[in-house]
């Protein structure tokens, strides 16, 4: 029988893989937008640990809305994570 953490990880990886194209599209769209030049400062993105979204630090606009990820996980996924420690 698989360990609880392995099952949880597998479920999360499956949801992330299913959304990879959407994430790539969001990053491509952001990279295609004009950004103010800031010499010596690279274009950066911030991952939100609470919503799993990704935001452009230059524009503070969301690049990827992570709320959908939580909706695609099994309903009891977060409770099982807490129980697994």
Residue 35 has pLDDT above 70, yes or no: yes
Three-state secondary-structure class, residue 62: strand
Pairing of the two strands 62-64 and 45-47? unpaired
pTM for this entry: 0.73
> For residue range 40-72, what is the model confidence (pLDDT) as tens digits?
777 889 998 888 899 988 888 899 988 888 889
Residue 43 C-alpha from the chain's centroid = 18
Residue with tokens 């009891």: 76
Residue 36 has pLDDT above 90, yes or no: no
User: Which band of pLDDT confidence, cut at 50, 70 and 90, is reported for residue 33?
Assistant: confident
pLDDT over 70, % of the chain = 99
């Amino acid at each position: 029988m698989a360990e609880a953490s392995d099952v949880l990880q597998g479920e999360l990886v499956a949801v992330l893989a299913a959304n990879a194209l959407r994430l790539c599209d969001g990053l491509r769209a952001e990279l295609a937008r004009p950004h103010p030049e800031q010499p010596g400062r690279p274009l950066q993105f911030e991952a939100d640990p609470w919503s799993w979204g990704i935001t452009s630090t230059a524009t503070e606009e969301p690049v990827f809305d992570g709320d959908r990820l939580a909706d695609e996980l099994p309903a009891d996924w977060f409770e099982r994570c807490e129980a697994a420690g």
